[in-house]
Amino acid sequence: MTIEPIGILLALAGIYTMAAGLSVGVYFLCMCTLLGAAAALILPSLGGANIQPSHFALVFITAAVALRPKTLAASLSCLSYPGPGFWFTLFTLYSVLTALFLPRIFAGATIVYSLARNNEMHRILSTPLSPSTSNLTQAIYMLGSFCCFAIVAGFGRLGGMAIVARALIATSAVCIFFAVADVATYSTNSSDLLSIIRNANYRMLNDGDIEGFKRIVGSFPEAGAFGYTALALFTFVLMLGLESFPARFLGALASALAVALVLCTSTTAYAASAVTTLIVLIFCIARILRNNATSRHLIYVAVCLFALPLLVMTVMLIPAVWENISNLVHATVTTKLESQSGEERMRWNAQALNSLLETNGMGAGVGSIRASSFVVALLANVGILGTIIFFIFLLSLVRSVLRRNAGPGVQQTVGFAAMLSSIAQVTAASISAGAIDLGPLFAITAGLAAAYALGPLSGQKQATDEGSPLFALPQPRGSFRPNVAINGLSNLRREAFASGNGVYRHE
């Protein structure tokens, strides 16, 4: 096991989080989801497998929850039947079982495209089905996402939904910072300055361009991964802004994320953004028809239906600019499937579906097959049964959020934003994702939506930070009192630290 320099920094932050509580921990976890090109640990014994910062951080977050019985009980309560947490638990357990057994049951029965690991590089190879290190690592990743879902859902039910929302807003701002840093270092030939967050042994595509446009990758190994994360954050921040969440600069932040999505030149980001934009447009129109729309909903509808078409027609009058944009669209959308990458990805999908048939619809086990669509990867890895369970979970999540009538307020705003962000991630993954683990960011937004759907635990009005830890640092002298504000978020912004049975502030 090799501990990277960034892993040491993350370990120190994780230890602090265990003592400080989840009010700090959710910020730590959300920020780590941006470090997609980094490796906290590298495991040569598993073919050079990378432990990403987000999963590394989850070890400390899980330990922090285990040391706080109240939050542990709240997290477990989110997994009960018939809520969405039950179906996510069932999906995770079934997926892990497939990783253990199906590659052995169907060994040699089909040819698969799978991830081959060595200490220098990861490659996709066509081989007969057999157990591999990918079965183990993908199963561990799924268990990590499951823990993340339960922790966020439990913390949200204890009153921490607004804290998680603010952590995701801060993460969005840092995402933009990394995008700017990526472009700036590329333009000045100083990309080595970001090497500390690009230390994983993935293939890094951080210096590519299409038709003269720099492909923004930010802190990720390639543009598609950046686009996936930026889309999730854009959808979340956009919905918060439309629903008047009490935070500053949401409009500017959503606009910056939209620009980053355009400039990342990711086909997946473009297609998924179009679907997400349409869903939000339908939401705003529904608000208008029900006579409960605000000026922000009207502005969004006006921008989508009038301003954007007008902008396109104006650009068409400038031949040089329109030609560059047309070439970009041609390269990233219209001829994408004809490219070498597109043809290769279609072969992956075709072989994955063939493997589904050759395994009698059971799949080859999590981590066995690489595809280029989340839906195809689901079918090929966990079979028809696993796919059905996942979509029952997704349907349960959406239905639970829509059916809960908590009335206008912060919780409803955050719950709807988290639900739509989760849908945006599934949409993007369905276009090009190669594996069935949607990652910690999906687990965070889905857990946040589940927290809203299930409602606060009895007697919880604000984030209680999980009850008393089993060990406690010496507390500073002074007068403390619980933050008991029920309506509004002003007190949450002024918290000094969290511990014990409530969110406290020093007086």
pLDDT in tens, 431-453: 988 889 999 999 999 999 999 99
pLDDT, residue 32, reads 93
The helix (H) or strand (E) run that includes residue 398 is helix 374-403
Residues 6+ away with beta carbon under 8 Å from 51:
7, 39, 40, 41, 42, 43
**Coil, helix or strand for 86?**
helix
Task: Tell me the helix, strand and coil percentages in the chain, rounded to 5.
Answer: 65, 5, 30
Q: Give yes or no for a contact between 233 and 418, defined as CB atoms under 8 angstroms apart.
A: no
Query: What's the rounded Cα separation, in Å, for the pair 396 and 270?
Result: 27
pLDDT in tens, 60-115: 999 999 999 999 999 999 999 889 999 999 999 999 999 999 999 999 888 887 76
Nearest to 60 by CA among 24, 23, 17: 17
Q: Which positions of the chain have pLDDT values less than 70? A: 45-48, 115-123, 208, 211-212, 331-340, 406-408, 458-507
Query: What's the rounded Cα separation, in Å, for the pair 150 and 81?
Result: 14
pLDDT, residue 347, reads 86
Buried b or exposed e, range 48-62, using 16+ CB within 10 angstroms:
bbbbbbbbbbbbbbb
pLDDT, residue 336, reads 61
Nearest to 435 by CA among 377, 476, 477: 377
Q: Which two tokens stand for residue 192?
A: 């080595």
> Quick one: CA torsion of 119, 123, 126, 132, rounded to 10 degrees?
40
pLDDT, residue 132, reads 86
Query: What's the rounded Cα separation, in Å, for the pair 371 and 344?
Result: 10
pLDDT, residue 468, reads 38
pLDDT, residue 164, reads 95
From residue 462, give the alpha-carbon distance in Å to each of 159, 293, 467: 4, 28, 13
416 phi and psi angles, rounded to 5 deg: -65, -40
Query: What's the rounded Cα separation, in Å, for the pair 205 and 225?
Result: 11
Q: Where are the alpha helices (DSSP H) in 243-339?
A: 250-263, 267-289, 295-302, 308-316, 319-329
The helix (H) or strand (E) run that includes residue 57 is helix 53-66
In single-letter form, the type of residue at position 247 comes to A
Render 249-270 in DSSP notation, one character per residue: THHHHHHHHHHHHHHTT-HHHH
- Provide the pairing of β-strand 49-51 with 41-43: antiparallel
pLDDT, residue 505, reads 32
Inter-residue long-range contacts of 14-18, CB under 8 Å, 24+ positions, other chains counted: 14/56, 14/57, 14/59, 14/60, 14/61, 15/60, 17/57, 17/60, 17/61, 17/64, 18/60, 18/63, 18/64, 18/67
207 phi and psi angles, rounded to 5 deg: -120, 20
In the chain, the largest separation of any two C-alpha atoms, in whole Å, equals 69
Give the count of beta carbons closer than 10 Å to the beta carbon of residue 459: 6
Query: What's the rounded Cα separation, in Å, for the pair 465 and 448?
Result: 16
Q: Where are the alpha helices (DSSP H) in 456-503?
A: 490-493
pLDDT, residue 339, reads 67
* pTM of the predicted protein model: 0.86
